[in-house]
Amino acid sequence: MPFSYMQCQCHAIVAQSRASVDSSAALAKSSFDRLLENISRTSNIDWTGNAATLFRERMTMSREQIVLCDADVDVTVRMAA
């Protein structure tokens, strides 16, 4: 057998690829966690008016988007595993 299990370079490359995905995922998920925390702090702001309404809508949308993104990242990590 010309290529044994230990000899094929694909194992190392795939491991690198998985590590890269895992690293990006970890960075994103920690950023998401901090962002969710920061968004929850914005509810303390005493602010009314058109911009305040938009701000709160966008913060709510961002929170929802983060949850979706976080789930998407999990899917990617599972695909790469």
Partner 1 sequence: MNWHITSSIYGGAQYAPATMAEYTAIAESLVQSAADMRASATAWTDTAIALQRHRASMSICDSADSSASSGVYSHATFPFSDVAQRCSMHAQDCTRLGNELTQMADLLIRAHSLYSQAEAENRRLMTELVQGFTQLFPKHMFIGAGALAAGGALYGSFKEGKLNATHALTSTAWAQEGLMSGLGAMVGAVPIRKGLSHTDEVNTAAKRVAGVTAPAYDLVQGNTLHVTQVVSNSDVIQEPHSVAEAMEGLRRLGEERLGKIDLNSGLEYGTIAISQYRKADGSTSWLVTIPGTDGKADSPFGWPQNVELMSGDKTRRMKADSARMVAEAMERAGIGADEPVAMIGHSQGGIVAATLASDWSDTYNIEHIVTAGSPVANHPVSEDTWVTSVEIDDELVAALDGAENPAIDTWLTIRGTSTYIPDSIATTVNDDGSCTPGMGAGALNPFVGATVKDQPDGKEITHWLKYHQAAYRNATDLGSPALQQHEEHFQNILDGELVETTYWQGRMQRSLATAPAQSNVTMQTIGR
Of the residues 65, 67, 71, 74, which one makes contact with partner 1 according to CB under 8 A: 65
Does 64 help bind partner 1 (rule: CB under 8 A)? no
Residues 6+ apart with CB under 8 A from 80: 17, 18, 21, 22
**Nearest-approach distance from CB 15 to partner 1, in angstroms:** 8
Q: Which residue has the tokens 């290529």?
A: 3
Q: Do the beta carbons of residue 22 and residue 74 sit within 8 Å?
A: no
Contact 25, 77 (CB under 8 A): yes
60 binds partner 1 (CB under 8 A): no
Residue entry with tokens 């709160």: 56
Residues in the interface with partner 1 (CB under 8 A) total: 51
Binding residues (CB under 8 A) for partner 1: these are 1, 3-5, 7-11, 13-18, 20-21, 23-24, 27-28, 31, 34-35, 38, 41-42, 44-52, 54-55, 58-59, 61-62, 65-66, 69, 72-73, 75-76, 79-80
